[in-house]
Amino acid sequence: MVPLLLFLFGTALAGWTPPFALTQYHDFPDFEQYVIEVAKRNPSFVQLRDIGRTHEGRRLLGLKIGRPSAVPKPAVWIDGGNHAREWPAFHTAIYFIEQFVTRYGQSDRITDYINKLDIYIFPVLNPDGFIFSRTDTKDLIRQWRKNRAPANCTGFHSTTVRNVCCEGVDLNRNWDFSFKQTNYPFNNPCSDEFQGPFPFSEPETRAVRDYVTGRELSGRLHAYFSMHTHGQLWILPYNDHRKHYPEDYKDMERLAFRAAEALYQYRETKYRIGTAADMLGGPATGGATDWIKANTKTKYVFVLELPPDLSSWFAFQVRPHWLLPIAKETWLAVKVILEQTLEDHGLQSRA
């Protein structure tokens, strides 16, 4: 059977996606093949995007989901985060692709989103680290957070143990926002949160920066939604110190509360909303969403720390049977953001 025939006799048929079970964890090649196949089999409204290479030469792949338009359309970015150990976020991004593609032409709302918006989804922005985290069950490997940058030998374990060689950079500390070489632990190559030797030292962060500020997206990216684990935190900019907010913070906060309320309806998952600096009492410098909010015209910029909450210790990878419930409830929040984007541009979707 032909997988996709759009607008046959005036009726749009749903798109096609390959099997990707959200009842188990997948390896990176599964993600890579999935996005390639979705783009290949749905060319009328899905396009593959290859925005760069990692340290180890892997492609940073995502999808542009949107019907072609003669005029620029508002754009929404969704990613599965960039921390290697945060596997549920990557899988949740796949669920979103499933919803957009397989329900196009079947759901008025989904069809409106795709006809009126361009939706960019990048499930895995740190494939090197993700692959490494799945090579062993030892905590040092399984809980790996960073990319796989070559060893930096300026690390330290104490005031006396110096010049230690450690690999990797935290991609969510590598952006040029309040980046300071004197901030501990961000300045220690042996820390999970090592910010790197200088801003945008990593090919992965440069690739995302260049793409969101490049010709295709510059000036039309309206919402940026990045998923991580864990904590049930809805994080707004800015996070370099407490009580530091952009001028339109209240607009973002109102939308976050509405989206979190929609999410709550599924299984009563509660999110805390605010900046990480305010909620957790400590700074997080060099963040991607902070830089994007400060340096682009993007209106709504969010980090979502998926379940479980912070009372669960080291729950970066929930048991696989939780993957689908987490994806389904988060999808309800995403739709609120999409609806707001349509409203802001006078493109309200059908009821």
Distance, in Å, from the CA atom of 3 to the CA atom of 79, rounded to the nearest integer, reads: 26
Q: Name the active-site residue from 305, 329, 339, 343.
A: 305
Answer whether residue 11 shows pLDDT above 50: no
Whole-number mean pLDDT of the chain? 94
Read off the pTM.
0.95
Average pLDDT over residues 112-120: 97
CB 111 within 8 A of CB 119: no
Instruction: Give residue-wise pLDDT tens across range 210-269.
Output: 999 999 999 999 999 999 999 999 999 999 999 999 999 999 999 999 999 999 999 999
Distance of CA 18 to the CA centre of its chain: 21
Whether residue 202 lies in the annotated active site:
no
Average pLDDT over residues 85-113: 97
